[in-house]
Structure 1
């Protein structure tokens, strides 16, 4: 957490970023080397799956087999680094607004005047209006204590007790009555995305539900919902 120009930034610690940047490529190369080393043994097991690929790897002469395995592991590790860095949330708080941003997605700016409660719900950061509308709900691995310090330093009303409207959420089951038209289909698609850990798709579907006035939270793979009126002052996404 660092302050600059009347702003407080909460981001992934430098040590964790370094661990991701170096650890994933090294781990990828190690896994590649181990798979190459075990390819001949696995290819000799009649019951083992993927016999074809392992037999092919076992037939590649050295040093090309080792070089190829290390290169493939390195590329895989780098791709994981880019994915992990892109998914990490950075929160910038000032007296006037809070900005929630990711490298691989749009940022959301919420004016301070629209925020009546800030809290964490599991691993999600929520900025809520006085009428109960959620101006932002973003998953993150940021430390709640650092988020609390950042928001309270700029006068935001942090709630240690969580969501004041939590009791209004209802467990979603297919074809549940009381939802706007089309919301059940969106929740069903989102349930499938959550089961496959497709978090980007789940976020897109959450936004579609928001447009219908349906707010969603999840507990594991279970989804809970409530209907709220979207205010015209909702913070812009850009």
Structure 2
């Protein structure tokens, strides 16, 4: 039984709401970010006028126009405006960090993985186990298909403890790693429609379109095709 289930969620980074156990980084860490990021932004803004005044004296300095604009602001705006802008930028970054935080929720009937601003929800009955592949959490289905593959900043220890505490098998690595093969055009043995999706995903990988890469991965999962990437190469596995 975990510390959270004994009534002390703070020890494990877990919290409970309405019967749901949530594994995440402690809330105080995000509260600290909400204070530190704006403070750092304001501090940088405070130093910006002096930097701008020095920058415009350099004959070779790029972006001289914006620097001249900052240096020409009248008092008190020459100080107030950069400090306010820096604090606001820090708040925005803190908000992004909160929006893209990683957490795993274990409900009565579902397992929900939230990371990078995206959420995957699967039925508990369909989950067979999980493992970490690099920085990605992978949740396997009872048919060995990959139900979830998400980059997360949660530690492997925390994820392992959470999944095993809820009755799921934890693997030290991908138990099906030897079944992956590199995708090349016209590779035989793929489900209908997978070839076109993989070709489109390859173009998205090369174009560094992360959103499209993820959308197409989810489409491939619906066809029971697991895919992982190494640089700009796709490796696939079709569960038997």
Higher RCO by CA contacts (8 Å cutoff, separation 6 or greater): 1
- The separation in 2 between residues aligned to 1:66 and 1:51, in whole angstroms, is 19
Name stretches of at least 5 consecutive residues in structure 2 with no aligned partner: 1-12, 188-193
Shift in CA distance, 7/164, structure 1 to aligned 2, threshold 3 Å: same
In the alignment of these two chains, the number of paired residues is 221
Report how far residue 165 of structure 1 moved.
1.5
- The separation in 2 between residues aligned to 1:201 and 1:81, in whole angstroms, is 25
Report how far residue 87 of structure 1 moved.
0.7
Q: TM-score, normalised by structure 1?
A: 0.80
Q: Describe how 1:129-148 pairs up with structure 2 within 5 A.
A: 129-148=141-160
- Provide the residue aligned with 2:55 in structure 1: 42
- Provide the residue aligned with 2:226 in structure 1: 215
- Provide the residue aligned with 2:25 in structure 1: 12
- Provide the residue aligned with 1:109 in structure 2: 121
Report how far residue 104 of structure 1 moved.
4.2
Alignment partner of 1:85 is 2:98: yes
Q: Describe how 1:1-238 pairs up with structure 2 within 5 A.
A: 1-2=13-14, 4=16, 7-94=20-107, 96-101=109-114, 104-105=117-118, 107-160=119-172, 162-171=173-182, 176-178=185-187, 180-193=195-208, 199-211=210-222, 213-219=224-230, 221-228=231-238
Q: TM-score, normalised by structure 2?
A: 0.80
Do 1:118 and 1:127's aligned partners in 2 also have CA atoms closer than 8 Å?
yes
- The separation in 2 between residues aligned to 1:158 and 1:109, in whole angstroms, is 19
- The separation in 1 between residues aligned to 2:224 and 2:203, in whole angstroms, is 17
- Provide the residue aligned with 2:190 in structure 1: none
Do 1:191 and 1:223's aligned partners in 2 also have CA atoms closer than 8 Å?
no
Name stretches of at least 5 consecutive residues in structure 1 with no aligned partner: 231-238
- The separation in 1 between residues aligned to 2:66 and 2:146, in whole angstroms, is 49
- The separation in 2 between residues aligned to 1:67 and 1:61, in whole angstroms, is 10
Report how far residue 222 of structure 1 moved.
4.2
TM-align CA RMSD: 2.6
